[in-house]
Amino acid sequence: MATRTRPLVPIAPILPRYPNLAIIRASDRTSREAAMYTDLSSDQYRQQFASRDQSDYQLIDVREDDEYAEAHLPGAVNIPLSEFMARVDEIDEDRPALLVCNTGVRSSQAAMYLASLGYEQLYNLEDGTKGWLRDGLPVEGGEETSQ
């Protein structure tokens, strides 16, 4: 895991449940923002990552603990956006990072933050866990694992 030597950039504007939350839809992204990370649909994620060993990449769920406990993608690690700045050193900048939330908004903000720190190989699950569930894909969490 990489050791962070750069100063941390404040992310208060991107934290959830705050009045100054900046909501960014994919259609609103500038070309600079588009270069920071790649949006993936559930199908694209499965095509690009499903055949890989999960140790080759990081699947990070940025939803809050209670949301994560209800249902999350298999193998996802929970680093809530509200704790993201304090826990950013848990993310290995040498491996691809796929970020997920409920609908793709918070995870895109986390991806932009990581990009601002120099992370590369960043992916955002644009439909989030909600889209994953809508597509009938398996999740972990809740009282039992759903298939």
Annotated active-site positions, please?
101
Q: Please name the residues in contact with 14: beta carbons below 8 A apart, sequence gap of 6 or more.
A: 21, 22, 81, 106, 109, 110, 112, 113
> Which of left, alpha, beta for 104 (phi over 0: left; psi -120 to 50: alpha)?
left
CA distance 37 to 18: 24
Q: DSSP for 68-83?
A: HHH-B-TTPEE--GGG
Contact 76, 60 (CB under 8 A): yes
Q: Which of 108, 101, 104 is nearest to 79 (CA)?
A: 101
